[in-house]
Amino acid sequence: MKKTTIAFGLIFGTLVSTPSYSMPPGSHSTPSTPAGKRIIERQGELSKVDTLNLCVDYHDLKTEEQRQNHIKELDLRSQLSEQDHKLAPLHKVSNSMTMCGMYMSKGKPLAEKSRQIRPLTFKTVHVYDDLYITTQSGMITAILERKEGVMPPALVPEKPRVQAPPVAPK
């Protein structure tokens, strides 16, 4: 009797709980709102371009119309900050700009060196002709002038000297 009750409970529980966890038919393939559908299924030459390429290509664009189209596409993808909008057309950089805004302002760097400093946090030094720009998790954190004979910023902070404990070791 006990085994029958347990078996019945398992079968009944499985049948009752299964529909509550499944998704309605077709919900995984279509956007949930008309606005979402317009953004995801939009047409145009820039809609299929990789985001990083849009940022880097902006620096070399010649016409204002092309620049505005790139900015519009990057805004749709939520890639630009207020600082990016202000300084990218002037080809300047400042702290709190995004990495995309930096690429838009300065173009592609001569070199980049990255390091993971903790889980999901990356620190990168970008080398330009006149600047070292340090970014962390996609935001500019430091801008240093590039001078001959001066080393770039370190990716690994130096460990501080630790004083021995006040208690004598055993």
Residue 38: per-residue pLDDT: 67
DSSP string, 132-145: EEEEETTEEEEEEE
What are the structure tokens assigned to 27, written together? 């919900």
Q: What is the pLDDT of residues 117-134, one digit of tens each?
A: 888 889 999 999 999 999
Residue 20: per-residue pLDDT: 47
Residue 43: per-residue pLDDT: 77
Q: Which residues does the chain have with pLDDT short of 70?
A: 1, 7-10, 12-31, 35, 38-39
Which of 103, 111, 105 has its CA nearest to residue 132? 111
Residue 31: per-residue pLDDT: 56
